[in-house]
Amino acid sequence: MRIRPTLSWTPAEDLPPGTTDLAPVVDALSAGGVLVLSGAGISTESGIPDYRGDGGSLSRHTPMTYQSFTATAGARRRYWARSHLGRRSFARARPNAGHRAVAAFARHGALSGVITQNVDGLHQAAGSEGVVELHGSLDRVLCLSCGAFSARHELAGRLEAANVGFEPVAAGINPDGDADLTDEQVVGFRVVPCLDCGGVLKPDVVFFGETVPPARVEHCRELVRRATSLLVLGSSLTVMSGFRFVRQAAEAGKPVLIVNRDPTRGDPHAVTRVALPLGTSLTTVADRLGVTLDGGPAQTV
């Protein structure tokens, strides 16, 4: 199954308003066995914008699709120029209170697992272990010809050497680490090939329109089967890649709880949606559980 490039979602029915009552979330975590599913909204307090919230990147930016990336050298040049510049700022982001709270819940024994739709690695940086990166990671690079993997920082060094003086000013940074640049700003950017076979390099992330590896999907489904409840953090659930796990949990009679300021595609399946900022909400939940968050304040891009 492929992720369709679904860029927006319009509720087909009147959804119940969000609440400010965190008690159901506290109760679920107290009971244990909670599976976390996080989205871009958990990283906004680290300075990484989300896709669809107020000021989200989709208001100014259409994400690269797999079909476009593989179709032309020009699309790949545009992607790598924007991604190369964006990574410099993206890599400076640090975990915020939301990420630290999730790690603390796991140390407290409240979680059965963490699935993230994000590619920023901030859950792991906050101390979460065994995180399933549903859409991959920007820290890895894949050759589409020979299948070799390599580290993103190694590619960054090669791109720096091939593009000395490339210092355009970006209009913004997007959730996928892509900087907002014009076509004129990327003219002349040199893309480097795979060192093993000379093939096309792609970040090890799932683009819109690309297949999530079946084994990864099945692993996530198994995590849902083992969980007692599903806690969605900062996701509109617009794309099927995450929404299917909400439907699976609900169909199995497992409570679905959502913390997201705006309505989501999963609201009809949820027992509650808390419409509060994630950092504040999860810090409050941690206090009520007597759980201590490690680390200091977030460093933003």
Angle at 32 between CA 28 and CA 36, to 5 degrees: 75
* Closest C-alpha to 115, from 220, 19, 14: 220
List the binding residues.
Answer: 39-59, 117-120, 143, 146, 194, 197, 234-236, 278
Instruction: Name the binding residues for NAD(+).
Output: 39-59, 117-120, 234-236, 278
Distances 146 to 116, 122, 142, 201, 212 between C-alpha atoms, Å: 27, 29, 9, 10, 19
Pairing label, strands 149-151, 201-205: unpaired
Q: What is the DSSP string of 164-213?
A: TT--PPPS-B-TTS-B---HHHHTTPPPP--TTTS--EEEEE--BTSBPP
Active-site position among 84, 99, 135, 269: 135
- Ranges of beta strands (E only) in the chain are 34-38, 111-116, 132-133, 136-143, 149-151, 201-205, 229-233, 256-259, 272-274
Is 293 in contact with 97 (CB distance < 8 Å)? yes
Could you give phi then psi for residue 233, rounded to 5 degrees? -125, 110
Give the residue ranges of the annotated binding site for Zn(2+). Answer: 143, 146, 194, 197
**Close Cβ partners of 56 (under 8 Å, ≥ 6 residues apart):** 49, 50
Active site residue 135: yes
Residue from 181, 205, 173, 182 nearest 301 by CA: 173
β-strand 201-205 against 256-259: which pairing, if any? unpaired
Supply the residues annotated as catalytic: 135
